[in-house]
A and B are shown apart, each in its own frame.
Chain A
């Protein structure tokens, strides 16, 4: 059973009677443990696809099975619960709460999981350790550098031990050096078994994945594995930079 299975996914926006298809007839499977990049220029529909896969938006047509469950029949509250339990998000703008400590930012998904908060501390610290920021727990989010902020955001995405992590242009607001550091964290997480879906328009960033799905005008134009050789080439190119 695939972790993610989409069949004939469509998303049509109705803007005052003018209908635009952001996605049309998209079908693919993603297995547990994969590292997939979704690529395409802006306006291609890649963000729409990520929002649907991340259960932030509903498709106009087609089916989306997450972990074998048909998501089209779920209520808003059930979707919120799935986002809380099975999905982690990392955004381009980090989206950390200001005037709030690193610890509290990472803890946020646990606040909404409606269970005892007894184990929160160890789970938050474990997530922070996996991004190398366990000594920053009591810092306020605005005291951190951009790279550190994004690592906190990754820790927040990890804290609920989700089935899949979505990263939307995670290096878009970072310089290339910290961008590389952040991508290396994703790479390491993937090595430890996390499924990662990366949305980007940068070829270099996309090349960290094992598989790249290219989207143009709401349709998949290519879906292929990244060969080991190509990957190494890309990495060498980055080091030279």
Chain B
């Protein structure tokens, strides 16, 4: 026990007696471990932010995109490629309770961007051409007026519902309800304004304006296909069955016999969550890996200092051998010393990194994001183990050098 405790005490003495040099020695490790902690902490906070937004939508949603996809990869439509295989007839088939009994709502959507003019403003806005059922799926709440009506889906009504941010953009000083806006020289009447909801997934629903599906398809975009269909399942446990029913229905619609030929992709929010988790995890660990490179630089610094230390204390090595220390005792002593240095540096780095992440979280939260400070225990464990590992790896060479010192040579060294 003393053979382990004494080196720790000696290292502490050594570190304590020259504080500034010790600080410089440990700086590499402090910075390295600190940045790993910061990246891991901010990464898991950002991950939480993204995943929470998806989760607020509910885990019983299904999205249907045109174009086939590998099971794990993203559908082509998600990469911005225009595919025209999803049609209004498909939407009609999915509404059919006989074909897909578990769906409570189905909404078809096309998307576009246009210059939108109000009485006072002209703004570039993104719009959704969609069916009235979207309100139920997205859990829209109205600040005033109404959402699009089911009969407006197909009757080319010139009604428009504004997201809260879009409403503020276009009507900074007036109540938009009942006012006209102009999109592509066509006049639309504002029939409703949504309550502020915050971003969900990658789109911010507050920024959008909502038009009836056919109006957007035919009057603005001149297309006959859909960009996506979303659907809500009656219960979480029926999601898988509903997805199968949807696939079967669409294959029948598109005369597809072999599932490999599917020209559509069906995904659930649960799948999206796991895909997002995977992507954000990869990002997080990749960044942490880059941060860890500085640990190697720190490790080289430790090795350098340990080599100097072995040389400076060569008589001490000789003395210890003279009073009965074995080579392995000497190696162990110097290894423990270097691990003590990296572990101390690592601890400081963890505390420092944690503090910085905490401050960053406080600032980001202050800026209005739903950002939760998060410092997972596993990232602390990871950082601490890396610090110890660095001490072992970079302490090994100096320690073995110390172990090879002949006692007689060491005692002669003055």
Residues on A lying within 8 angstroms of B by beta carbon are 47, 51, 54, 56-57, 76-77, 80-81, 83-85, 89, 91, 93, 95, 97, 99-100, 108-109, 111-113, 117, 156, 160
* 3 nearest A-B pairs in the assembled complex, by CB-CB distance: A84-B324, A112-B324, A109-B323
Q: Is B70 an interface residue (CB 8 A)?
A: no
| B329 touching A112, Cβ below 8 Å | yes
| B6 touching A89, Cβ below 8 Å | no
Task: Determine the chain A residues whose CB is within 8 A of the CB of B319 once the complex forms.
Answer: 89, 91, 95, 97, 108
Interface centre among A81, A91, A117, A156 (most CB of B within 10 A): A91
| A83 touching B408, Cβ below 8 Å | no
17 new A-B pairs (CB below 8 Å) besides A77-B327, A99-B13?
A56-B318, A56-B321, A56-B322, A56-B411, A57-B406, A57-B407, A57-B408, A80-B321, A80-B324, A81-B324, A93-B315, A95-B319, A100-B13, A108-B320, A108-B323, A109-B323, A160-B324
Task: Determine the chain B residues whose CB is within 8 A of the CB of A89 once the complex forms.
Answer: 319, 322-323
Residues on B lying within 8 angstroms of A by beta carbon are 1-3, 6, 10, 13-14, 17, 315-316, 318-329, 406-408, 411-412, 414
| B316 touching A97, Cβ below 8 Å | yes
A105 CA to B322 CA, complexed, in Å = 13
Interface centre among B3, B10, B320, B414 (most CB of A within 10 A): B320
Task: Determine the chain A residues whose CB is within 8 A of the CB of B321 once the complex forms.
Answer: 56, 80, 83
| B3 touching A83, Cβ below 8 Å | no
| A–B Cβ pairs within 8 angstroms, 26 of them | A47-B412, A51-B408, A51-B411, A56-B322, A77-B326, A77-B327, A80-B321, A80-B324, A80-B326, A81-B324, A83-B321, A84-B324, A85-B324, A89-B323, A93-B315, A93-B414, A95-B315, A95-B316, A95-B319, A99-B13, A99-B17, A100-B13, A108-B319, A111-B3, A112-B3, A112-B326
Task: Determine the chain A residues whose CB is within 8 A of the CB of B3 once the complex forms.
Answer: 111-112
B297 nearest CB across to chain A (Å): 30
A84 CA to B407 CA, complexed, in Å = 13
A-B contact count (CB 8 A): 73
| B411 touching A91, Cβ below 8 Å | yes
| A83 touching B414, Cβ below 8 Å | no
Task: Determine the chain B residues whose CB is within 8 A of the CB of A97 once the complex forms.
Answer: 10, 316, 319
A192 CA to B84 CA, complexed, in Å = 107
A11 nearest CB across to chain B (Å): 11
Task: Determine the chain A residues whose CB is within 8 A of the CB of B327 once the complex forms.
Answer: 76-77, 80
| B407 touching A111, Cβ below 8 Å | no
A13 nearest CB across to chain B (Å): 11
A32 nearest CB across to chain B (Å): 21
A117 CA to B328 CA, complexed, in Å = 20
A112 CA to B3 CA, complexed, in Å = 7
| B325 touching A95, Cβ below 8 Å | no
Q: Are A95 and B411 CB-contacts (below 8 A) given A100-B13, A111-B3? A: yes
Task: Determine the chain A residues whose CB is within 8 A of the CB of B323 once the complex forms.
Answer: 83-84, 89, 108-109, 112, 156
